[in-house]
Amino acid sequence: MQEIRKLPYYGRGGWRQSATDRWMEVVDPSTGACIAQAPAICAAELEDVIAQAAEAFGPWSRTPALKRTQVLYRFRTLILEHMDELARLLARENGKTLEEARGDLLKVKEPLELACGAPSLLMGESLMDASRGYDTVLYREPVGVFAGIAPFNFPAMIPMGWMVPLCIAAGNTIVVKASSTTPMTAMRLLELLEEAGLPQGVVSVITADRGTAQLLLTDSRIKGVCFVGTTGAGLKIYAAAAANGKRVQALCEAKNHALVMDDAVLERTAKGIINSAFGCAGERCMALPVVVAQEDIADRLVERLRVLAGRLKVGCAYDESAQMGPVVTKKHMESVLRWIECATIQTATLLHTTSRWLTVPYSPSIKIWRSLPSQTIFLTISLIKVRFSSIVSVWKLSLKLDNAVDSISTWISLSAMMFTSLCRRAFSSFMEASSLSSSVILAFTRSMNAAPKLPCDSVLIRLSISLLHFLILSSMTATGLFCVCPCKSRFSFSSSL
């Protein structure tokens, strides 16, 4: 029997074996086999990690920005050189297909490229004669040690793309708490980052239980916290870290809805829904679990979705031919099955399902069902609850446009999509978008009278005015800007007399 590897944590002097007696299993979702054990490190070990990050901050913050970005660019090159190895590792611990795993890794490369512009991004400002006889100068300075708490679903992009690059490019250091479910990708990426020339202690990767991880929220040496995960955990982390005077950014649960108008281009609409609903086995914040279709197109749409879903090959994550891999754990799969049971109990019509198990232990059975307008209880659950799953529910509604748009507006909406062929209708909806709780509305339109040189299909986007500020912060985070701003500003006043 093959010995299960006990994973290290990054402590003082580099990678170390934990003295803990608590280990958390890392399971290959494609086989159900335990492939490693991640340590729930002790409080004393985490304190030592934080101390090392604090000690590394001084020399690293004094390193010229140009030299810091040279390390990041070499890291970018190493990621590309090791792409196949990294993609296979990510697919093995997370369940993404190889293509999806490569996409996850490329989302590390992009923030790295942005961070390589730090010498320009970190430039200050100056103004002569801000007041009579006074000039002002603004400098951007590193803040200190940050903590990043990452989820399981994007084990490369979130910790090593969103959190690390701009944080360390700005001269800070960071302790990353990787998900204990999928820690190996972040650990391997840190090895490559060290190979690129990063000094010890600038970035640390650990795994810990919730009790020990509280130190990241209370230790005075931690100046800021970035969290991505569930709303329940995010609220607690935000409150605890803010109470201890830290900068906090908590990106929590959200979901997306689609409105299909009766003039939508059926094939394009169905393919878009399939890609969004079942990509990454639905385990992503931009998945599409709820579709509201007007009555005249609903039945044809559902039939087309059923056909396209039936063509998807669900299989082993690291099989190149697989189009959809397993969900991350058996517990998560059981949660998905409970949602399906909940829907069928409330008389939703199950239209398509794969075999529950297939050949993959944690196979995310593809489910499409049609829900009736009278099912108000499940409609509420379906619109409000966040399900990281390979489920899409289609609602047939006979409503006017305004009422249909309102039906997909909930407090937890991240985005809403409208599929229509009428640009005027789409534009009108965009102009009214500021009243919605959804952040973004996308209208996939087909221009019937477009000039020959123009593309037949176009995409129009309008940000909801009420959430524009939030989206700016989110987009900055998506490119790696850490905790809203990884620098502090210092004003210097000097007399020009």
The catalytic site residues sit at 285
What pLDDT is stored for residue 104 in this prediction?
Answer: 96
What pLDDT is stored for residue 178 in this prediction?
Answer: 97
Name the pTM for this structure. 0.82
What pLDDT is stored for residue 479 in this prediction?
Answer: 25
The label of the residue with tokens 């100068």 reads 137
- From CA 310, how far away is CA 97, in angstroms rounded? 18
- From CA 157, how far away is CA 179, in angstroms rounded? 13
Series of mean pLDDT values for 10-residue runs along the chain (497 residues): 85 93 94 94 97 97 95 97 97 95 96 92 88 89 96 96 95 97 98 97 96 96 95 93 94 82 90 89 85 86 86 88 88 78 63 46 51 36 56 74 55 72 61 47 37 28 27 27 39 40
Asked whether the beta carbons of 416 and 440 are under 8 A apart, the reply is yes
Query: How far does CA 282 lie from the centroid of its chain?
Result: 12
- From CA 349, how far away is CA 351, in angstroms rounded? 6
Give the residue among 477, 43, 14 at the shortest CA–CA distance from 218.
43
What pLDDT is stored for residue 387 in this prediction?
Answer: 63
The label of the residue with tokens 């084990």 reads 155
